[in-house]
Copies of this chain bind each other. A is one copy, B any other.
Amino acid sequence: MQEYCFGIDVGGTTVKMGLFRTDGELLEKWEIPSHTENEGAAILPDIAKAALGKLEERGIDKKDVAGIGIGVPGPIDANGVVPHTANLGWGYKEVTKELTELTGLPSKGGNDANVAALGEMWKGAAAGHKSGVMVTLGTGVGGGVIINGKIITGAHGAGGEIGHIHVDDEVPGACGCGNHGCLEHVASANGIVRLAKWMLEQNAVKTVLDPETMSAREIWDAVKDGDTFACEVAERFGKYLGLALSAVAGTADPEVFVIGGGMSRAGQIVIDYIQKYYVKYVFRGCRDAEFILASLGNDAGMYGAAKLVIEE
> How many residues on chain A are close to B (CB under 8 Å)?
45
- A206 CB to closest chain B CB (Å) equals 28
A255 to B156, CA, bound (A): 8
A285 within 8 A of B: yes
- Determine the chain B residues whose CB is within 8 A of the CB of A179 once the complex forms: 281, 283-284
A75 to B253, CA, bound (A): 12
A266 within 8 A of B: no
A158 is contacted by which of B156, B177, B253 (Cβ under 8 Å)? B253
Complex interface: stretch among A2-10, A93-101, A185-193, A244-252: A244-252
Judging by beta carbons under 8 Å apart, are A285 and B158 in contact?
yes
User: 1/0 contact trace for A87-125 toward B, CB 8 Å?
Assistant: 000000000000000000000000000000000000000
A82 within 8 A of B: no
A147 within 8 A of B: yes
Judging by beta carbons under 8 Å apart, are A251 and B281 in contact?
no
Judging by beta carbons under 8 Å apart, are B244 and A247 in contact?
yes
Among the interface residues A145, A249, A252, A254, which one has the most CB atoms of the partner chain B within 10 A?
A: A252
- A176 CB to closest chain B CB (Å) equals 11
A275 within 8 A of B: no
Residues 7-40 (chain A) with a chain B CB within 8 angstroms: none
Given contacts A177-B283, A178-B284, A247-B248, contact A255 B155 (CB under 8 A): yes
Judging by beta carbons under 8 Å apart, are A243 and B285 in contact?
no
A305 within 8 A of B: no
A223 within 8 A of B: no
